[in-house]
A and B are shown apart, each in its own frame.
Chain A
């Protein structure tokens, strides 16, 4: 469904974007056809991993079940999911994503450091759709 947006496992999990070889602009979701910088003559677009950590630009949640094409199990009661917009410093880009399950808006603050981790979007008997989640970064020594 969203081939090539992320790769890797565990600590190696990264969002993947593309970078224009002429002007260095970064794109996420990946832009594989045209560099969108209007002043750029257009270069090859090369896949690049994005920074693993960033800071919360803003956050919210969805207290009501989102409509299709979002896939949810109507048999289960709806649990609100936090959504976090994260500023990646070196790419100077803001990327929206779901928070890891269990993190609510009460756990978040603008400016807080978060990191990207692999998560499950939804699954049925045959397929598990993976995605990226943002998780508040643990304190590291």
Chain B
């Protein structure tokens, strides 16, 4: 199904460690998005919640939890769980409802209150769960996977620790300009180098934190937007939500091993690259058309990987692109102008929605001091456990 949907409103609860449950963050973000859109909650046809497992399951299911907190008003309700890609899949579900004519005006909400320290699987003995197994058998936390990718890049492409540190320096400089970011101090390469090693070769300041936060969007049909007086809204043109293709040959969270390529030759694109390619094809654009990108910088090294997977540069050229300043504010293709997860931290069901909030503000030309001049086309990229990956393309 093709066609644009309008972004009428975007809202966030500032990210940090606020000590509340996830519901107030989502409600605050939802109210901000509704106010931004200039619509009444009671006029919303459909609410889509990105689920939080830590804060919720069992007992809270996001769509209904937010709808109840905002006041039951009879809307269609959907809840989506796709780990770190939950927010993008929520946007995808809302878009499908609008394009199919099931709903005209949809509220998308994600929020979380993350625990301190490493993410970990839920309790109990669950040896049929790959996520449980990698912790039990290997003690393999998320940062250990980021460490594997970082070390591999150093060996194959010659990336250096200084390159990784410069990603943090760049993103922290953007985060310092973003009132919704948790970390608003600039960071130096020396501070990155002086922070404790978490998973060799990555240090504390190479890896994103866990946070509390919430983000929300109000989406509508283009026809509704026109009737509502929004003649030229930011539009979502593509939402890719693709699985990997067998055999997936890059070791990925939470797996202990890759697929074997002994029987089937791997596709030329890796999974991450296929996420972006699907979005480009759906939107009818190419990497050259982009004004900016928001990517999951779960680690500094992983941000560099995304440059290549998004086609911003050739394979192995990401550090060069960074060193040239192309991905900094004022560069040819700013990446993570919001400050990225480096400045926000992870609030899992909210972060992919927050990426689209940033594109919205940028494409409206209302991103304040971190504005990417003349922004017309933006892409987001994210990846969740168990073969979920999404990209959203927004245009003006």
Residues on A close to B: CB < 8 A?
Answer: 1-2, 20, 23-29, 36-40, 57-64, 66-72, 81-83, 85, 90-98, 105, 109-111, 121, 131
Q: Which residues of A contact B258 (CB under 8 A)?
A: 93-94
Among B197, B246, B263: residue with most chain A CB under 10 A: B263
**B72: interface (CB < 8 Å):** no
**Residue on B nearest A66 in the bound complex, by CB:** B139
> Which residue in chain B gives the minimum CB-CB distance to A35?
B263
The stretch of B17-25, B113-121, B354-362 in contact with A is: B113-121
A2-B151 Cα distance, complex, nearest whole Å: 29
B: residues with CB less than 8 A from A are 117-118, 120-121, 123, 125, 127, 132-141, 143-144, 147-152, 155-156, 196-202, 246-247, 249, 251, 255-264
Q: Are B263 and A93 in contact (CB under 8 A)?
A: no
Interface of A is mostly: loop
Given contacts A59-B148, A61-B200, A83-B144, contact A71 B264 (CB under 8 A): no
| Majority secondary structure of chain B interface residues (helix, strand, loop or mixed) | loop
Are B199 and A60 interface neighbours, CB within 8 A? yes
In the complex where A63-B198, A66-B139, A83-B138 touch, is A94 in contact with B117 (Cβ < 8 A)? no
- B263's contact among A37, A66, A95, by CB below 8 Å, is which? A37
Is the Cβ of A111 less than 8 Å from the Cβ of B246? Answer: no
Say whether A91 contacts B260, CB under 8 Å. yes
Task: Give chain A nearest CB distance to B260 CB in angstroms.
Answer: 4
Smallest distance from the beta carbon of A139 to chain B beta carbons, Å? Answer: 22
In the complex, what residues of B have CB within 8 A of residue A85's CB?
148, 251
Cβ of B117 and Cβ of A61 under 8 Å apart?
Answer: no
A67 in contact with B117 (CB, 8 Å): yes
- 10 A-B pairs within 8 Å (CB atoms) are namely A59-B151, A66-B118, A67-B135, A69-B121, A71-B136, A85-B251, A92-B261, A96-B140, A96-B256, A110-B152
B121 to chain A: closest residue by CB: A69
Bound together, the chains give a CA A38 to CA B132 distance in angstroms of 26
* CB atoms of A58 and B263 under 8 A apart: no
Inter-chain CA distance A109–B154, complex, in Å, is: 11
**Contact in complex: A29, B259 (CB < 8 Å):** no
